[in-house]
Amino acid sequence: MVVCLLPSVSPCLCGSLFPTRQGLPARFAAGRYTSGMDTRTLCIVGILGFAFVGVLNSLWFGLELKRFVDRTPVLASRLDMMRFKKVVAHQMYAALVQLVVLSAPIVIFAAGIMFKVLGGTDFLFIIIPSVVILVLAGITRRWETRAKTIPAADPEIEAERNTIVHTWLRKPLPDW
């Protein structure tokens, strides 16, 4: 039989370790985590931490896009197109990261509800950061629209811009 040092897990007859009915879920319900931190506090810190990362992600890449559209009134050269591709690629990667980062608080909240660590009023820890992120998304949407419709100096650059914008809108990853 295997001896376990963790109090929330007990050994079973086959020698493997599995949580017992009184183990991990009971520990969550009691409001204590193995580090000694209150489990509700840990869940709220996780929810707000991921929301904070989401806000930072939105600000960082939103401001990068704003700087590009402010400094580039017209796509006039190959250098402008290279910078446009780089900014769009960053936007695409940031969007994928944002999907993961903003899904995590919902998963943490659902687990907290399931283990009876969080209550209904704790939903405010999801709603309030979501409002902030939605406001930021509304602001950055204007910069995205400006970038997607940025004028091109000649038809060749315009065609390349349209191809990049199509990829930006329709594909998860850049293909250039």
Write out pLDDT tens, residues 16-68: 444 444 445 555 555 554 555 689 999 999 999 999 999 999 999 999 999 99
> Which is nearest to 63 in space by CA: 52, 73, 55?
55
11 has a pLDDT exceeding 50 = no
Residue percentage of the chain with pLDDT more than 70: 79
Residues 6+ apart with CB under 8 A from 66: 140, 143
How far is residue 65's CA from residue 74's CA, in Å, rounded to a whole number? 14
Q: What does pTM read for this prediction? A: 0.74
Q: Which two tokens stand for residue 145?
A: 């629209």
